[in-house]
Amino acid sequence: MEANGVATTNPEKIRSQFLELLRTRRSAQVPLTVEPAKPVVKPLFQDVTPPTFSEEMESCPKANFENLKELLKEENIYIHTEAGDQGKLPLLILSTKENNQEKRPAVVFLHSTHKCKEWLRPLLEAYASRGYVAIAVDSRYHGERASSLTTYKDALVSSWKNGDTMPFIFDTVWDMIKLADYLSQRDDIDPTKIGITGESLGGMHAWFAAFADTRYAVAAPIIGVQGFRWAVDNDKWQARVDSIKAVFEAARIGLGKEEIDKEVVEKVWDRIAPGLASQFDAPNTVPAIAPRPFLIVNGAEDPRCPLDGLEVPKTRACKAYEEAHCADKFKLVAQPGIGHKMTPLMVKEVSDWFDKFLK
């Protein structure tokens, strides 16, 4: 069956195809090892002007403790997800110091482009105050996995030229699978209650991690889910391309084109994230998350995640969740008048979603 030019596929089959793709561009496998790390004193932001304060994150619901800072336990660790520099995954974990040994729900948080795990601290503190183990990671070529202001940009261009890595979304999804291995083994985490969320690029990481690994029991990507094929077919790819322009410029030059056009965009996606605009696009991967609770929160006017591009994924997801007799476990919220921006309303929606399904 076809709809919008994308064939519908059996969820298990498409998941195994995706995992097979991830394995094709890995360096040598290593055992899952954990090593201690030190808190990062000066986090690396790959923005010319580093951000300082987020009203959205500060608005996240938190439990009312006067001495919250004293109650928090902070862990800084690395886990190794494959050989090589980028196989070292830095984690920042916050929880409250508890005397009882009960296992708790956990939520993984992923940052947006050019940011890092330390930026997410207000969210980690808010969730930890409410009884979660809250985990933030540096995605590939970000934070402790970056060495300059152009590390991520350079990795994208290198991926286009060499075709040996997948720095846009997919390589970090591999890390999220290995992270689920680690979190499932921890004494303080209930392995059946692990959630995942993220903003923008982090929202895409959360979406694909939930698709790839069913151990992520609940997912709630923020301003991340979009239809890549739809954007190409409907000439709405410009805002997404502008967000990581260097790789498309490199491709334009390499292909001998005067300007970035639809063909350049298709070739870049095929090269740096194979299947992103075809079998692994939203119309197939969003419904494949059923029956696990899945919340999508976007801005109704977001040019990077055009709402019209989610019509087919939404229709298919509603059908998949209805067939699984859990229609209430899928929800798409499009905040009116909002572009590509996380808002306090989105933060609250996600917070309520996790409380509903993980608590």
CB 134 within 8 A of CB 124: yes
What are 220-261's pLDDT values in tens digits?
999 999 999 999 999 999 999 999 999 999 999 999 999 999
* Distance separating alpha carbons of residues 12 and 170, to the nearest angstrom: 18
Q: What are phi and psi of 211, to 5 degrees?
A: -65, -45
| 183, pLDDT greater than 90 | yes
The owner of tokens 């334009």 is 252
Least confident interval from 6-10, 13-17, 103-107: 6-10
Cα distance between residue 168 and residue 91, in whole Å = 20
Residues 298, 321: Cα–Cα separation, whole Å: 20
Instruction: Decide if pLDDT at 342 tops 80.
Output: yes
Residue with tokens 């403790």: 65
pLDDT class of 2 with cuts at 50, 70, 90: very low
pLDDT average, residue stretch 77-81: 98
Residue with the larger pLDDT of the pair 52 and 305: 305
pLDDT exceeds 80 at position 9:
no
- In tens, the pLDDT along 140-178 reads 999 999 999 999 999 999 999 999 999 999 999 999 999
The pTM of this model reads: 0.97
Per-residue buried b or exposed e for 165-202, using 16+ beta carbons within 10 Å of the residue's own CB: bbbbbbbbbbbbbbbbebbeebeebbeebbbbbbbbbb
Q: At what angle do helices 245-254 and 151-162 cross, to 10 degrees?
A: 30
Please give the Cα distance from 103 to 187 (Å, whole number).
Answer: 7
What would the pLDDT profile of 18-68 be if each residue is shown by its tens digit? 999 999 999 888 999 999 999 999 999 998 888 889 999 999 999 988 898
Give whole-number Cα distances, 349 to 61, 160, 324, 343, in Å. 10, 37, 23, 10
Cβ(213)–Cβ(179) below 8 Å: no
* H or E stretch at 248: helix 245-254
Q: What is the Cβ-side half-sphere exposure of residue 275, based on CA atoms within 13 angstroms? A: 18
- Give the torsion sign (CA, 271, 272, 275, 281): negative
Helix or strand run (H / E) with residue 268 = helix 262-272
Please name the residue that has the structure tokens 């790789």: 247
Residues 326-334: what's their mean pLDDT? 98
pLDDT, position 8: 53
**DSSP H helices in 104-237:** 121-129, 151-162, 170-185, 201-212, 228-233
Asked if residue 228 lies in contact with residue 279, where contact means CB atoms within 8 angstroms, the answer is no
How far is the C-alpha of 311 from the C-alpha of 230, rounded, in Å? 10
Q: Which residue has the tokens 């990481």?
A: 205
* Mean pLDDT of all residues belonging to the chain: 95
Instruction: Using alpha carbons, list the distances in angstroms from residue 8 to 1, 4, 5, 278.
Output: 6, 10, 10, 11
State the average pLDDT over residues 342-347.
98
- Segment 106-117 mean pLDDT: 98
SS3 43: coil
**pLDDT given for residue 7 in this prediction:** 45
Q: What single letter denotes the amino acid at residue 187? A: D
Strand, coil or helix: what is 308?
Answer: helix
- E strand segments, the chain: 2-3, 6-7, 34-36, 72-80, 88-96, 104-110, 133-137, 189-199, 218-222, 294-299, 330-335
pLDDT at res. 48: 80
pLDDT of res. 58: 96
